[in-house]
């Protein structure tokens, strides 16, 4: 019975992230529109977009290779697996021990690796410019992310996300300077990784100003749907990660009753809504920065992560 | 037959083959005979070494040959550390031989390669087996000279003569450092056997000097920054299967020497030594991969990436030293096992990538990435194998590169237990350097693969490329499979490495074979665990179910059309992103500091029809700051001393007299 309920919880979380991801993006878009006094599309518009893209034919560039056609699925799968390993409303996932936080970061790295290769596959300048800028951002965001992971792992004594969430949620951790630094750094990395303002603009359609969108410019139809879906999932993943580590209240522990699960799920959606609202507020209030100021932005995240980790290393001896 | 005799018999076979190859080398079948025989001999030695390592309980076996110094003889010994490195050497040797069976036929001058190839393999085997300082140095020199001869195989190509010269100078310098190190280790009594050195106690002063000398000697062969300058010149100059051996295996033999002396012969390491090793490793990793990013020659890029990986291995060894010095056996075993795992992994994927570069070179005649492109259509199998290698070297799950880097990160996370302040500050900083190097490696290999294999062909050579022969493909696919297997089944590999950790450190990682579902658990499951197999299965299931659902329930329509060019679509292939333009963002971020990089744009005036030109100015600060002044000083003093050649006999006699007086004076003051 325990195994069955574990499988159910794991399966429910996997489906939940899949179902909620477009809704979150729709919600952020809607709030952004309302904040600038536009009506905005329905919050269910991303679902309609995905369905429309799925029904359309794929227009493939003449010299696109098999790699270009495989990439959308590989990317989507890697992000989905990563997202399924982040506790949303319940910790103690069945396959929690499959991959720890470092592996989740690396899985997202795999997704980006293939996407950046696909950007170069057709051989246009737009794909190239997108890919080269994406890997530049990644080359700074990934080490920053790893240092944040170090920071959290040193506090919790584990790199297993469920253990980290349980530790930070249950016992009295208190206000730690290094955790604060990690949170700020994590938010900065999350903005960069999800191609949000101020690093990249998800809404722009001027090719030269965009990074992520330029990289996937050649994609269409169901391929584009998979990539868009991957992007939605990634945003949800990062918000879930921040929420489960820094706001782990009422996440149902292993073997909790169905009431705890329901409370956890309800609160999780509420937390997502708050985070999405804050994201929309932030994006409306800031302007996109020049691409070569991004290294300074991410360098700051890297330094915050390093500083937080150093503080933990140093403070252990006391 | 004892295990060490089997290994020595294989070595003898290789040496005999080298002599035979001199006789045969002009014959037509020579290539097939020599590579076939090295394949068989390496495979036998490989199986012997693996059986020894998996046997677990076997004791080290010795062999003394009555050659070398008359009062010493030549000692050879097979223990766990040696057998692990014999696995690496002979795995690389077997793969390179298999590749050579196909690749060797394209060699313009086989008689310059065939005799030295088995000799090089024999030399590397002997270094690992040697059990006294004299044999060690002799075999080391033999290995260096054999590889030098292979570097000079195509001596008429531009740059190769210089590469050979720089290599020779650096190799002599390295051997000099090793000679002094062993001299110090043997002490005034002068017992050069490793057993005697191990038993003797060494003063801290001598131990520090030995560490510095080993970092110079073994470090220069392995490619530690700033001693790496010869490596990106020499490794690519050799034929590609030899490049694979030099990068994938010979650097590991140097690392073997470092481990043998610092961990084994010198006894307990000290923590200040580990700080030096950690910093050198971290800087080497980041510098190596930044150099690689700036490179547009495919083989040189791979050579620079070797430097990065050597840096990663040294960081891990430095961590092992720090833990061992503080008596943290479990963490030391974790860091040490991670280092050995990365040694194994790097020998797999670096050999694979050099084979891929060799395949590209055979089929297009080009090493310059900016003249390639679109090879995925014309060399589908090669590009698939190389893609696996690129993913593995970029440390992405579920391949093997990720596992060893993951283990190293886990070791970094163990280090708050260290009591020393210097280490507390060093380790997170080095961890950050390591994370940066890993991320840059992924960026570098996206660029390298994207420019070489994807996009549109940038020239006739790339347009008319064809797939390479079956032997080369077989070698590449075997290595690609090994990359995947070591990535999804890391548990057995870690268990196989435990005898080495027990022998060197006296501790080991927990047994992984008992973990459910083939997970790996470095310390405890609540701390961290990873399961490459399940990660791969999950990715495969979710990707295939996505494919199934979409093709079943949504559209399957597909239409080919021209690429979207935003209204200007008839651009030439030259308008694609090249290696240089792909690296431009990273060059702007890191290059201005590290390489003093400047972009010079020569924009013609309006109405002028000459093309605009972009010139990139890069400075190799290590070369300009260290080597160029030394070379200039040597040249200058040689010029000055040259005058002494044309003196009269009277002046020579007075010079001799003055020297004699000075020496006597020194002696008088000294005593």
CB proximity B519 to A under 8 Å = yes
**Torsion sign over Cα B478, B482, B483, B488:** positive
CA distance B335 to B404: 10
Mean pLDDT of B453-473: 92
Residue A117 domain flag: yes
Residue B647 is predicted with a pLDDT of 87
Q: Look at chain A and report how many structural domains it folds into.
A: 1
Q: Which residue has the higher pLDDT, B15 or B670?
A: B15
CA distance A44 to A34: 15
B65: CB partners within 8 A, 6+ apart:
B73, B74, B76
The residues with which B520 forms a beta bridge, in sequence order, are B530
Q: Indicate the average pLDDT of chain A.
A: 88
In the numeric block, which tokens belong to residue A193? 């990784």
Chain A residues with CB-CB distance to B397 below 8 A:
99, 103, 106-107, 110
pLDDT band of residue A318 (cuts 50, 70, 90) is very low
Among B304, B133, B283, B122, CA closest to B213: B133
Residue A287 domain flag: no
The H-or-E segment that residue B14 falls in is: helix B3-24
Pick from B395, B525, B565: CB nearest A106: B395
Residue B212 is predicted with a pLDDT of 95
CA distance B512 to B505: 19
- Enter the DSSP assignment of B190: T
Residue A295 domain flag: no
Mean pLDDT of B293-318: 95
Every domain of chain B and the residues it spans: 269-548, 628-670
Among A207, A125, A139, CA closest to B578: A125
Residue A91 domain flag: yes
Minimum Cα–Cα distance from A126: chain B residue:
B565
Residue B570 is predicted with a pLDDT of 64
A219: CB partners within 8 A, 6+ apart:
A72, A118, A227
Mean pLDDT of A121-134: 89
Residue A249 is predicted with a pLDDT of 77
Among A218, A191, A274, A266, CA closest to A69: A218
Residue A112 domain flag: yes
Put simply, the answer to whether A157 touches B527 (Cβ < 8 Å) is: yes
Measured in angstroms, the CA of A131 and the nearest CA of chain B are apart by 8
How many CB atoms are closer than 10 A to CB B179?
Answer: 16
Q: Helix, strand, or coil here: B76?
A: strand
Residue A291 domain flag: no
Tens digits of residue pLDDT in A95-110: 777 888 999 999 999 9
Whether the CB-CB separation of B357 and B299 falls below 8 Å is answered with yes
CA distance B39 to B305: 27
Residue B67 is predicted with a pLDDT of 80
> Which structural domain range is residue A157 located in?
2-274
B116: CB partners within 8 A, 6+ apart:
B18, B146, B147, B149, B150, B153
Percent of chain B scoring above 70 in pLDDT? 99
Residue B444 is predicted with a pLDDT of 96
Q: What is the ipTM of this complex?
A: 0.95
In the numeric block, which tokens belong to residue B581? 């333009």
In Å, how far are A70, A74, A76, B564, B659 from B543, measured between CA atoms?
A: 9, 6, 7, 27, 81
In the numeric block, which tokens belong to residue B418? 């260290």
Characterise B531 by phi-psi region: left (phi > 0), alpha (psi -120 to 50), beta (else). beta
Among B338, B362, B352, CA closest to B306: B352
Q: Which residue has the higher pLDDT, B508 or B212?
A: B212
Tens digits of residue pLDDT in B331-387: 999 999 999 999 999 999 999 999 999 999 999 999 999 999 999 999 999 999 999
Q: Which residue has the higher pLDDT, B55 or B151?
A: B151
Place of tokens 């070791």: B411
Put simply, the answer to whether B577 touches A125 (Cβ < 8 Å) is: yes
Put simply, the answer to whether B581 touches A128 (Cβ < 8 Å) is: yes
Q: Is the pLDDT of residue B526 over 80?
A: no
Residue A201 domain flag: yes
The alpha-carbon radius of gyration of chain A (Å, integer) is 19
Q: Is the pLDDT of residue A43 over 70?
A: yes
Whether the CB-CB separation of A106 and B437 falls below 8 Å is answered with no
CB pairs under 8 A between A and B: 282
The H-or-E segment that residue B598 falls in is: strand B598-602
Tens digits of residue pLDDT in B61-71: 888 888 877 77
Q: Is the pLDDT of residue B471 over 50?
A: yes
pLDDT band of residue A172 (cuts 50, 70, 90) is low
Q: What is the DSSP string of A91-158?
A: SS-TTGGG--HHHHHHHHHHHHHHHHHHHHHS--HHHHHHHHHHHHHHHHHHHHHHHHHHHHHHHHT-
Mean pLDDT of B221-243: 93
Residue A317 is predicted with a pLDDT of 41
Q: Is the pLDDT of residue B470 over 90?
A: yes
CB proximity B395 to A under 8 Å = yes
Whether the CB-CB separation of B514 and B501 falls below 8 Å is answered with no
């Amino acid at each position: 019975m325990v195994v069955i309920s574990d499988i159910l919880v794991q399966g429910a979380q996997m489906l939940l992230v899949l179902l909620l991801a477009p809704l979150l993006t729709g919600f952020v878009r809607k709030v952004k529109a309302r904040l600038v006094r536009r009506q905005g599309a329905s919050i269910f518009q991303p679902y309609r977009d995905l369905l429309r893209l799925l029904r359309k034919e794929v227009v493939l560039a003449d010299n696109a290779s098999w790699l270009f056609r495989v990439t959308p699925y590989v990317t989507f799968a890697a992000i989905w697996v990563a997202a399924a390993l982040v506790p949303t409303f319940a910790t103690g996932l069945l396959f929690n021990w499959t991959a720890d936080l470092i592996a989740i970061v690396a899985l997202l790295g795999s997704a980006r690796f293939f996407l950046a290769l696909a950007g170069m596959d057709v051989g246009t300048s737009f794909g190239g410019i997108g890919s080269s800028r994406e890997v530049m951002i990644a080359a700074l965001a990934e080490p920053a992310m790893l240092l944040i992971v170090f920071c959290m792992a040193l506090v919790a004594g584990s790199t297993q996300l469920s253990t980290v969430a349980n530790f930070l949620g249950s016992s009295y951790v208190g206000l730690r300077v290094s955790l604060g630094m990690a949170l700020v750094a994590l938010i900065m990395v999350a903005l960069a990784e999800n191609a949000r303002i101020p690093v990249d603009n998800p809404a722009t359609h001027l090719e030269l100003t965009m990074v992520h969108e330029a990289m996937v410019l050649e994609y269409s139809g169901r391929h584009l749907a998979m990539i868009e879906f991957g992007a939605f999932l990634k945003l949800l993943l990062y918000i879930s990660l921040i929420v489960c580590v820094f706001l782990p209240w009422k996440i149902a522990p292993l073997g909790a009753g169905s009431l705890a699960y329901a409370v956890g799920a309800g609160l999780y959606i509420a937390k997502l809504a708050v985070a999405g609202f804050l994201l929309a507020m932030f994006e409306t209030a800031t302007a996109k920065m020049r691409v070569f100021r991004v290294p300074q932005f991410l360098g700051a995240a890297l330094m915050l992560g390093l500083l937080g980790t150093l503080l933990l290393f140093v403070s252990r001896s006391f | 037959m004892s295990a060490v005799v089997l290994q020595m018999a294989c070595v003898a076979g290789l040496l005999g083959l080298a002599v035979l190859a001199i006789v045969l080398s002009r014959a037509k079948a020579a290539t097939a005979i020599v590579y076939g025989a090295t394949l068989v001999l390496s495979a036998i030695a490989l199986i012997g070494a693996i059986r020894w390592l998996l046997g677990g309980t076997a004791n080290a076996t010795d062999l003394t040959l009555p050659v070398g110094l008359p009062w010493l003889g030549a000692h050879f010994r097979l223990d766990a550390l040696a057998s692990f490195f014999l696995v690496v050497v002979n795995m690389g040797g077997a793969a390179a031989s298999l590749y050579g069976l196909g690749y060797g036929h394209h060699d313009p001058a086989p008689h310059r390669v065939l005799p030295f190839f088995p000799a090089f393999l024999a030399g590397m085997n002997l270094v690992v087996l040697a059990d006294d300082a004299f044999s060690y140095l002799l075999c080391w020199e033999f290995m260096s000279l054999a590889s030098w001869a292979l570097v000079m195989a195509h001596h008429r190509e531009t740059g190769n003569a210089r590469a050979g010269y720089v290599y020779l100078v650096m190799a002599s310098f390295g051997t000099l450092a090793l000679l002094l190190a062993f001299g110090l280790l043997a002490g005034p009594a002068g017992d050069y056997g490793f057993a005697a050195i191990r038993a003797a106690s060494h003063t801290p002063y001598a131990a520090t000097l030995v560490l510095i000398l080993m970092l110079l000697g073994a470090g220069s062969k392995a490619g530690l920054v700033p001693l790496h300058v010869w490596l990106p010149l020499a490794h690519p100059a050799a034929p590609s299967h030899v490049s694979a051996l030099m990068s994938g295996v010979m650097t590991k033999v140097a690392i073997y020497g470092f481990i043998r002396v610092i961990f084994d012969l010198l006894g307990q390491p000290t923590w200040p030594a580990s700080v030096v090793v950690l910093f050198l490793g971290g800087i080497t990793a980041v510098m190596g991969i930044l150099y690689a990013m700036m490179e547009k020659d495919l083989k040189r890029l791979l050579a620079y990436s070797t430097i990065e990986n050597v840096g990663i291995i040294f960081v891990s060894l430095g961590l092992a030293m720090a833990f061992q010095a503080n008596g943290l056996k479990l963490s030391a075993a974790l860091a040490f096992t991670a280092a050995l795992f990365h040694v194994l992994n790097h020998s797999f994927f670096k050999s694979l990538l050099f084979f891929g570069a060799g395949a590209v070179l055979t089929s297009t005649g080009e090493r310059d990435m900016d003249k390639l492109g679109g090879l995925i259509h014309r060399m589908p199998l090669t590009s698939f194998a190389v893609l696996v290698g690129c993913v593995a070297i970029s440390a992405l799950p579920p391949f093997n590169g990720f596992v060893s880097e993951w283990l190293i990160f886990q070791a970094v996370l163990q280090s708050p237990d260290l009591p020393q302040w210097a280490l507390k500050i060093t380790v997170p900083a080095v961890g950050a350097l390591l994370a940066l190097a890993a991320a840059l490696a992924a960026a570098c290999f996206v660029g390298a693969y994207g420019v070489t294999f994807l996009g549109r062909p940038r020239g006739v050579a790339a347009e008319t490329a064809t797939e390479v022969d079956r032997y080369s493909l077989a070698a590449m696919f075997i290595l690609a499979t090994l990359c995947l297997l070591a990535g999804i089944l890391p548990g057995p590999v870690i268990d196989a490495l435990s005898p080495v950790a027990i022998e060197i450190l006296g501790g080991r990682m927990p047994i992984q074979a008992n973990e459910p579902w083939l997970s790996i658990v470095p310390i405890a499951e609540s701390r961290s665990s990873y399961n490459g197999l399940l990660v791969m299965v999950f990715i495969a299931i979710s990707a295939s179910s996505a494919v199934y659902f979409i093709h079943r329930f949504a559209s399957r329509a597909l239409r080919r059309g021209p690429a979207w060019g935003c209204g200007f679509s008839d651009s030439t292939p030259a308008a694609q992103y090249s290696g240089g333009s792909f690296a431009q963002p990273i060059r702007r971020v890191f290059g201005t500091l590290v390489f003093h990089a400047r972009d010079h744009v020569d924009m013609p005036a309006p109405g002028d029809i000459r093309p605009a030109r972009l010139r990139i100015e890069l400075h190799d600060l290590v070369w300009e700051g260290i080597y160029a002044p030394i070379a200039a000083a040597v040249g200058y003093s040689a010029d000055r001393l040259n005058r002494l050649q044309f003196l009269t006999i009277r002046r020579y006699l007075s010079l001799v007299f003055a020297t004699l007086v000075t020496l006597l004076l020194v002696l008088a003051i000294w005593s």
